[in-house]
Structures are given as C-alpha cells and as structure tokens.
C-alpha cells in the first residue's frame, strides 16, 4: 500500500532492508506497496513497529482516537495509567481490538441504564447468522438472515459474528449444534479453522495450502476424511473466507489413521 512506501522513503530505508527486517520477500513487500498483495495483520504489526507508528496511521495515514484508552494513559504519574500505556504500546491492532471489546463488555455489564422505565444491563451485542456454516453444507452467510444477541460472558473476546454449526466433521473440537465465534479479516495459518464459502456452500474447516498452490479444507474428525474438500489452483480464487474461528487453542494437524491404519 502507498503508506508503506511513503514511510520507507521518508525514513530512507531500502526495500530489501525492510523486507529482511519484517521477514518477507522483497517481491511480497513490493506487492504490499503497490496494492497488488494484502499483508496479514502480523506483517502490518511488524511494519508499524519498524517505523514506530500506530497501525491506524499505517493503514489510513492518520491517527484514530481510541477514547476508551485515552483517559488512563493521559495520567503518566498514575501506576495504573502507566501500566495501561505499556500494554497498549505492546499490543498490535488485533490485540487492541480484543482489549477494547472486552472493556466495552465489562462497562456494559456493570453500568445500568434506564430504558422504557426499567433498569437493564446494556450489554454489547454480537451478530448471529441463522443460516450459518457447519462441518458440512449450509447456506451462505449473507443477507438479512441474522439477529443481534447479547455477547455471551463465556464467549471468546474479539469475535465479529457467530453461527451454529451442524455436522460432526470437526468433532471432538467443535460439536454438532455448538456455536462458533468468528473474527473477520484475521490471517489464517496452516491448519487454522475458518469459515469458508465455496461453490454455493459454507463450511467450517481447517485450511491447508500445498506447494502446488492448491487449498485443502480439512475435517478435524479422524473418521470424516470423506468430508475434506480439495481445491486445485484454478479454483482457489473462487474460495471466500468469512473469517477465523476463535478457539481456546490451535488444533493439531488432522490424522486420519483409525485403529493404527490409514483409511
């Protein structure tokens, strides 16, 4: 993107030097600068740290005020304010979003507001799609088939929407009928779980790319290798990722051996 190039030129940094510093190829960096490629949030975080700017400035060219953090950070002599300032400086944009989301959740839970004559909790909401993905086929996540529900207390922080899963191909990690919470725009690594749209259907699967440029959408259930989906390189551009499923831990690489032998 142009902001990366402007910062690099302003700081008199060579493209090859910056590429080495953030651990990407020079061709990839060139693609980021021209807009040909889109960097993931981890790379944006490295770029922001290298140039000592915020992610807001890196992405938009201007600083965006974060009022939830402004008050405590503006009190440098306050120990809590200093600790919040230290934490804020250490977090990337993804971490700040989660922090703010949780802070808003706590604020909404603790503050009573009067509505229609009654005191109720003004809890943050999350969008729940009613025709969501599953470990099998489902309707696309789009349109107006959703409802805004209170953000559950035990749900992972930082999700943008949630959906109920149908099917058993992601068990035992994601049970049939359970709800998954999804963050849009999060970069997926090998074997991360995402919500994908392909050929008219939506799936919750682990993603795995290979050296040929193909993509495999994998079932975590060792007995559901039959539900895997293989996309050859010409088909990959038709795959849409709605976001990353937020789980308490990374899932292992699927192993389809049953009773000691491969199916």
CA distance 122 to 3: 39
164 plus 74 within the same structural domain: no
Q: Please tell me the predicted confidence (pLDDT) of residue 244.
A: 92
Q: Please tell me the predicted confidence (pLDDT) of residue 96.
A: 66
What is the full DSSP assignment across 54-67? -HHHHHHSS----H
Q: Please tell me the predicted confidence (pLDDT) of residue 130.
A: 72
Domain boundary among 38, 60, 82: 60
What are the angstrom distances between the C-alpha of 31 and each of 15, 22, 196, 219?
Answer: 11, 14, 25, 33
Q: What average pLDDT does the segment 201-226 reach? A: 91
Contact 148, 126 (CB under 8 A): yes
173 plus 87 within the same structural domain: no
Q: What is residue 48's three-state secondary structure?
A: helix
- Model confidence pLDDT, tens digit, residues 74-88: 344 455 666 666 666
172 plus 98 within the same structural domain: no
Q: Domain of 52?
A: 2-60
Exposure of 134 by Cβ count < 10 A (0-12 exposed, 13-18 middle, 19+ buried)?
buried
Q: What is the total count of domains within the chain?
A: 3
- % residues pLDDT > 70 (the chain): 67
Here the tokens at position 185 are 């725009």
92 plus 32 within the same structural domain: no
206 plus 255 within the same structural domain: yes
User: Residue 126 pLDDT more than 90?
Assistant: no
User: Residue 221 pLDDT more than 90?
Assistant: yes
160 plus 257 within the same structural domain: yes
DSSP 238: G
Residue 7 is inside which H or E element, if any?
helix 2-10
Q: What average pLDDT does the segment 194-208 reach? A: 88
146 plus 256 within the same structural domain: yes
94 plus 204 within the same structural domain: no
How many CA atoms does the CB half-sphere of 70 hold within 13 Å? Answer: 5
193 plus 245 within the same structural domain: yes
Q: What average pLDDT does the segment 90-99 reach? A: 67
- Model confidence pLDDT, tens digit, residues 137-164: 444 455 557 788 888 888 888 888 888 8
């Amino acid at each position: 993107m142009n902001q990366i190039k402007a910062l690099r030129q302003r700081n008199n940094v060579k493209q090859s030097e910056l590429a080495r510093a953030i651990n990407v190829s020079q061709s990839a960096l060139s693609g980021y600068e021209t807009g040909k490629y889109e960097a993931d949030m981890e790379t944006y975080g490295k770029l922001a740290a290298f140039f000592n700017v915020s992610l807001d400035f890196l992405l938009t060219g201007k600083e965006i005020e974060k009022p939830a953090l402004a008050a405590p950070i503006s009190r440098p002599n306050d120990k809590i304010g200093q600790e919040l300032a230290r934490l804020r400086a250490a977090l990337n944009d993804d971490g700040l979003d989660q922090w703010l989301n949780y802070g808003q959740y706590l604020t909404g839970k603790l503050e009573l507001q009067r509505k229609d004559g009654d005191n109720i909790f003004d809890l943050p909401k999350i969008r729940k799609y009613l025709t969501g993905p599953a470990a099998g086929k489902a309707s696309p996540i789009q349109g107006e088939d959703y409802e805004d529900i209170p953000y559950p207390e035990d749900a992972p922080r930082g999700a943008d929407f949630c959906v109920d899963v149908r099917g058993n191909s992601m068990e035992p990690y994601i049970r049939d009928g359970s709800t998954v919470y999804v963050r849009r725009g999060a970069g997926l690594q090998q074997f991360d779980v995402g919500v994908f749209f392909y050929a008219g259907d939506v799936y919750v699967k682990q993603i795995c790319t290979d050296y040929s440029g193909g993509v495999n959408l994998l079932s975590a259930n060792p007995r559901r290798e039959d539900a895997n989906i293989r996309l050859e390189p010409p088909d990959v551009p038709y795959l849409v990722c709605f976001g990353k499923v937020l789980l308490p831990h990374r899932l292992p690489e699927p192993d389809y051996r049953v009773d000691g032998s491969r199916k």
